[in-house]
Structure 1
């Protein structure tokens, strides 16, 4: 005799139940678990077995069996989540509010910020309870971030100028983001680095020997991601002028060159102004003060730091400079431009929204 499997509970719906289930099943955003359970019951009412319902809804048969049985036993009430086990909450809402208000609006007498221990002593709650409240409301008194607002009177004009170059570059022109990464230290650890082993990370001493510093001048082509780099031991206008000369030699002579750079004094000396006047295809575009985020080469410097410099060990400047040149060469073998997507107006809108959160920022 063929095996028929476990008999399924008969499931029929009244008109009122069908109407309520249809309303629940159509919820677009909230209570998606209830919407799915309602769909399960509605499909079961069509006479399909659990496997057929599961295949139709893209779920497992056990889930169908669970909610079919719940509905047959308790009807609509069976689809609603039951109270979770455990003791009911004993902390009053007023006490939770007082913790949140104290966290946001004042500090303890002996510290600059609250800890779980100090807030527990203040409110009489346990440290674990304070931790749960802070996690629930995403409060982290132990963390502090930093920000810097530009006070440049030409902030708006400069942002529009630079972003315009990124999103709509001129024809027959190259847009280069230029800056210097100064003070790159050649650091040699006081003991050999111990290599990584199974179950153990790479280890190094915390102390090191300094062997001098170098400066990397870099120009990032925003279209291709190619980088023109030059290393110098000092960071003066004369070195910047030499770097401009190198750019002039490497960029095809039939292209204009638009350089995005910061407001460093070495970029504005009479010697640089004279050089630019003698090379009319070069055009300088300055980012606003305190706005290094607007210069794309800063992102490239971050990659250089993360992948080469931070954990690098160099006995002397020559070894450091060799590794930097090798890294730049390797990058240019497979350059990756950064995708700039924000318009100037979107930047201003986001900045304005941020300012609204800072007391007194509009004054």
Structure 2
């Protein structure tokens, strides 16, 4: 009888729910393992047999057999106090990173990079990157595109592209452009700010500030 352990009685719907949790790709492996233990216990399998089949200790089987029999199948999702993975960055810091990304810009730059934000908040670059991915934030992207109204635009475009594709013999071509985060041009109107799930926007027209 000791090997059989506590008897678990489940309704058909509860058993189906455990099976769904066990097979779901979104279920943590730890929870899926608990579901397997309980399902085998419900089927009448003994503690020793379950432990050997699933590669766990017998006390682990006994624990989950007892918890589910007394507290219900929802117990498989619960983590004991003091257990589980500890967050490396507290909630206040995570909120500060998101707020700074959406509501501010680094000095002299057009947007935050992982490196700059990590230095600003004293966290790792991977932490910033994970938060941005989680909230679908992409500071480096902006929506804008407009064809020139210059009547000779196509002619000028062909000349410029032609220099790259088929330069004259011994020709020296110099190309000057802005740095990705340091802009020489100003927009004629302020753009819409960066938001979760939406990149920032900017007006099509700009001021050259003396550049040509």
What TM bracket, shorter-length normalisation? 0.3 to 0.5
Structure number with higher strand proportion: 1
Larger-gyration structure (1/2): 1
